Amino acid sequence: MARRALSLIAFAVPLGVLALFAAPLLVSLLWPGQGGGGERPRALIVDTVCAAVPNEALIENITKLLESRGFEVEVRAGANVTVDFMRRLAMGNYKLIVLRVHSTRTNFQGLFLPNGTVVIITGERFRPDRYRNERLLEYLVPSTVDPELRLALGYWAITPRFVRALKGRFPRTVVIAMGCSTLYTSTMAQAFIDKGAAAYIGWSDYVRADHMDKALALLLKLLLVDGLTIEEAVDKVNDVVGPDPDRGATLMYYPPHSGGLAISDIVKP
């Protein structure tokens, strides 16, 4: 009887060890993203417009939408959108970046930057004693909201040179830059593409916050729920939401060949 018990124990121990190692594999097959079976794609929402025109319902809704499509979502808002945070932008392994930001275009010919360069405004207040080297290299500039009026917002703004100098890469990221004039020229868009992004969506000119928010909500639904390509989604937004009522800005994408991409294409391993 003792010999039989020992043989059963000898048989049971390997089975127990096998089960111990097989269980995590079984869990990962049945529930992808759980039990170590691959990481969820990451999405980042940056909101600096909230300081002037908050829209908490929009941020909450698009966060839930992204999470429902399997994304791990990070939200960064207001004064937390610092220059230092933007320096780490290409190190976050984000597949989708949504920028609800103030942005503009330069009204000067710089040493490195041509007039009309697109810049993205952070949530960090401008101080003339900070970032002197970055300012000399034109990685950073003091922000203005309207070149014609020379109306100062008083925040630091990042330039395409800043983006190109970032550590890390964008892993075929789709960047949705919903600020004013983010595709007035391709300067900022090309900087993101040069760092590995797959596509960049932005506005041709100045756009009102309420118009921008309507467009963003519809754009994400079309891309994430309806599964439209970037070209199809952008065209649909322009048809349904229409151009900005004040400046006539329309939504655009860059580069032209990215129009055939869908979000499902960029989240593939």
Q: CA 79 → CA 109, 121, 150, distances in Å?
A: 29, 11, 23
In the numeric block, which tokens belong to residue 46?
Answer: 């940056």
Instruction: Measure the CA–CA gap between 147 and 206, rounded to whole angstroms.
Output: 11
**What are phi and psi for residue 82, nearest 5 degrees?**
-90, 170
The DSSP secondary-structure symbol of 20 reads H
- Give yes or no for a contact between 121 and 48, defined as CB atoms under 8 angstroms apart: yes
- Can you read off the two tokens belonging to residue 12? 């049971």
Answer for the pair 62, 98: CB distance below 8 angstroms, yes or no. Answer: yes
Give me the numbers of helices (H) and strands (E) for the chain, helices first please.
9, 10
- 128 falls in which pLDDT band (50, 70, 90)? confident
- 42-266 is classed CATH 1.10.150.650: no
- The pLDDT score that the predictor gives to residue 26 is 36
pLDDT digits (tens, 9 = 90+) for 228-247: 999 999 999 999 999 999 99
Give the DSSP H/E element, type plus range, for residue 176: strand 174-177
- Return mean pLDDT, the chain: 86
pTM over 0.95: no
User: Token pair of 195, please?
Assistant: 């760092």
Mean pLDDT along residues 43-58: 96
| DSSP H/E element including 126 | none
**Strands lying side by side in the sheet with 140-146:** 103-105, 118-125, 151-158, 140-146
- Has residue 104 got a pLDDT over 60? yes
User: How far apart (Å, rounded) are the C-alpha atoms in residues 59 and 263?
Assistant: 19
Whether 224 shows a pLDDT value over 50: the answer reads yes
